Amino acid sequence: MAQVRDKLAEPWKGVNLGGWLLLEPGPSYPLFTQHPLRDKSEARCEWDIMKGLIAKMGKTGAAEVLRSHRETHMTKADFQRMRSCGLNAVRLPFGYWVVTEPRPKEPYVGPALEYIDRAVSWAEEFDLQIVLDLHGCPGGESPEAPCGRRQRPESRWNWKQWDFQASLKVLQILARRYAQHSCVTGIAVCNEPSGEVPAKALISYYSKAVDVIRKAGMDAQRVAVVLPVFQRPEGEEDFIKKWSKSTKGRHRNVCFDVHCYHCFENQFHGKTFAEQLRAVEANTEMFKQHPMVAGEWSLGLGQATWCTCGDLDEDTVLSIFGAQQQEAFKSASHGSFFWNWKEDPENKEWHFQHSCDSGLLSRPPLSLPPWDRQGEDPLEELLHPSPEDPVVYYGDTVYLRVFHGRYIEVQGKTVDCNWPDKGIWQAFSFCASDGDAAKEKGSRRPVRHRDMLRIRAHSGSFLAVPSNAATGASVTTTRSKSCAEAEFEVFLQHTSVLKHRGLAYFFSRATATTLDADEDESGIRARWADFGDWQAIAVERPPEMQRHVALGSLTKEPPRQRQRGRRGSKDSPVKAAVERPSPGGAVKRKALELESGSA
């Protein structure tokens, strides 16, 4: 029996209170910048900063620093302002040690239930709903900072270290303590559990958690139980099916928590602005199918967005993105929560108050053009316009964008892809091979499917694939105009003539392998004969040749001139964005999969 899609009478339109009762570098600003570690680096998580504080000033001094933060970081005035911003709910992340005392040898300070008491009291006073979010479980539900201790990349964490029984005890304490508070309308049983946790074990914990919460007095009529579905290896749809098969629909008013971030992992770094908006559109369908809450979302965008949004300025891009997301969340049975109420002022994409005050969250949504998924999306032309003549000719300056949103560049003999910029180092042109050039001397010829060509860098040298490329050797450059290692056959997608934004594969004549980029390593390589997503290269004409973005068919508001500059994301990618074989033969999994319902 499928899980019943219960819906809240008043879906949450809220904000996260991250960084208050579970410390993280951005949301806890300025605590982490004020207290660097002994090597002057910034701590990565609550565990690190507390260990550092204890080393510098002892347990008493460290506890006093934390007490001061907890007393001042979130106040009654914040809750009053949340309501004035039009919000109706807050999501309160905290570590288990705030509810019970920390386990032996852990540097956390607790219990500190009086702060949850305050949050509940202030929520009641200002007519806000509150979701109690067990963000950090005993033993940790992942090796990541949000659960209190980041142990990546040198992870010693194993999913069996997550103490399910102790986590259930924490949930029982919370449910009993706040069952009679009508403002408490949700309780989350964990946050972003690792995909390493087997589905069977996770489903068992979730089902037991629902039972514990209900028996402790939080009934299904008033309180939703929030079950995170995060980066599941089997995918969200299959996990929900497994949940439904196991529980047979006996649990009511439960919702699956997805985190809709568009700036982590190479998949999202590589998405164009149009693709980002289509991913949001796909989320709408996901929300309609299952009981869900977008427990975290932001305005953060991946790197390719900022090279594929024409001349729109930064705030216009962010406001369009925010409007489309908010429209999608209207389909979520249990609503959404922006991450975060407070943040480092430089990270405005994550700072609700700044976004609200500057109007980034008040734009009406665009009406996107229909697309049957055949050929190029018409939204690409609207947001990343072509020159008057979009055709790419031999000798034209072009820029080559790889799947993770950065552009191929040449410095000396080094060929790499480090930046989402279109500068002089990233400028290339196509040259016909000697035979073709002789045939068409004096003509301006377009680049066509199956042409044999050379790729000339700004320095005048040509990209060249070394004979040992299959072993992982990086592509280099050569000055030779007749070297077979510098010749490529070009394969185009959906067209016979290469145009602005067109996707191309460059197949080495010398090694019979295709140029590719890597999500984890620098450099450009040519290791396989495949034509996969990680080998598709977008060919773009210079920005100054492109026409202005005309949003007339989507909105009446005229576009503003964009101030060009390098834009990155809040964090660097850490996992594969597409599934493909690594040089060692292992399979690297997709980390996020919005098109099929992941967040």
Q: Give φ, ψ of 228 to 5 degrees.
A: -65, 135
**Distant-in-sequence, close-in-space partners of 394: CB < 8 Å, separation ≥ 6:** 429, 430, 431, 432, 444, 445, 446, 447, 453
Containing H/E element for 434?
Answer: helix 434-439
Dihedral sign (CA 193, 199, 200, 206): positive
Q: Residue by residue, what is the 3-state secondary structure of 74-134?
A: CCHHHHHHHHHCCCCEEEEEEEHHHCCCCCCCCCCCCCCHHHHHHHHHHHHHCCCEEEEEE
* C-alpha count within 13 angstroms, C-beta hemisphere, residue 109: 23
Q: In the CATH hierarchy, which top-level class contains the domain 12-357? A: alpha beta
- What's the pLDDT tens digit per position in 416-438? 999 998 999 999 999 998 645 44
Sequence ranges of the domains in the chain: 12-357, 388-546
Alpha-carbon gap, residue 562 to 565, rounded angstroms? 9
What is the pairing mode between strands 254-262 and 292-301?
A: parallel
pLDDT at 553: 66
pLDDT at 472: 77
Kindly report the pTM of this predicted structure. Answer: 0.89
Specify the DSSP class assigned to residue 274: H
Low-confidence ranges of the chain (pLDDT < 70): 434-443, 553, 555-599
- What's the pLDDT tens digit per position in 191-221? 999 999 999 999 999 999 999 999 999 999 9
From the list 83, 13, 596, the residue with the least C-alpha distance to 334 is 13
Answer yes or no: same fold for 12-357 and 388-546.
Answer: no
Q: What is the largest CA-CA distance in the chain?
A: 85
Q: How far are the Cα atoms of 301, 315, 344, 353, 593 from residue 262, in angstroms, in the given order?
A: 5, 16, 19, 20, 11
Q: In the CATH hierarchy, which top-level class contains the domain 388-546? A: mainly beta
Specify the DSSP class assigned to residue 312: B
